[in-house]
Amino acid sequence: MTEWLSDDEMSAWLRLVAITELLPGVLDAQLRRDAGLSHYEYFVLAMLSEAPSRTLRMTELAQRTNASLTRLSHVARRLEDRDLIERFPCPEDARATNARLTDPGWAVVAEAAPRHVTHVRARVLGDLQPQQIRQMATIGDSILARLDPEGRMTALYRPADTRIAP
């Protein structure tokens, strides 16, 4: 016999589904309007902006952005065409390719980030109390431990943990 979700579980689950369906479009629309970037393009630039020397191997960048190398390569080509990133052979491994955020790419991230942060606060975090934000992080960790047991993406979030007060 199949066990159904309890009323509380169903309530939580439907809200999570609604958020996962609505949030990408909300974030994408704001970034396209204000920065001329898709949310994924912004995420690629942001990951490069936080990397040492603003450079990552394409395989590492794909992992950090949860994308296939094929998808990342298409996006990287578009970003290169706009002079926001550059790709070049990895000096340590000629079989690999690195991506580096260019100075114009850094300028785009630096200009887009404050408006994006304001939008994230207005649409997601703004009405939450500090305790609720900490609870959200804890709940996210619990879910991600099962969705990402190898820590492919969740390793990204560890630096942010130091910014969340107890």
Residues 6 or more apart whose CB falls under 8 angstroms from that of 14 comprise: none
Q: Same structural domain for residues 158 and 110?
A: no
pLDDT beyond 60 at 1: no
Average pLDDT value for residue range 12-34 = 95
Q: Same structural domain for residues 107 and 138?
A: no
Range with lowest mean pLDDT among 69-73, 106-110, 134-138, 149-153 = 149-153
Residue 5: inside a domain? no
Residue 30: inside a domain? yes
pLDDT beyond 60 at 163: no
pLDDT at 151: 81
Give me the chain's average pLDDT, please. Answer: 90
What are the structure tokens assigned to 56, written together? Answer: 């990552």
Among 69, 93, 70, 74, which residue's Cα sits nearest to residue 85?
74
What are the structure tokens assigned to 123, written together? Answer: 């649409």
pLDDT beyond 80 at 160: no
- For 79-89, give one letter per residue: b (16+ CB within 10 A) or e: beeeebbeeee
Under the banding of pLDDT at 50, 70 and 90, the label for residue 32 is very high
What are the structure tokens assigned to 61, written together? Answer: 């960048």
Dihedral of CA atoms 145, 151, 154, 155 in degrees, nearest 10, equals 140
CA-derived radius of gyration, the chain: 18
- What is the tens place of the pLDDT at every residue in 75-119? 999 999 999 999 999 999 989 999 999 999 999 999 999 999 999
Residue 45: inside a domain? yes
Type of residue numbered 31: L
- For 31, the domain range is 11-126
pLDDT at 165: 41
- pTM (predicted TM-score): 0.85
pLDDT beyond 80 at 159: no
* Residue appearing with tokens 């960790």: 141
Distance CA 106, CA 84 (A): 7
Residues 45 and 91 sit within 8 Å (Cβ to Cβ):
no
Task: Count structural domains, the chain.
Answer: 2
pLDDT at 41: 97
Average pLDDT value for residue range 111-136 = 95
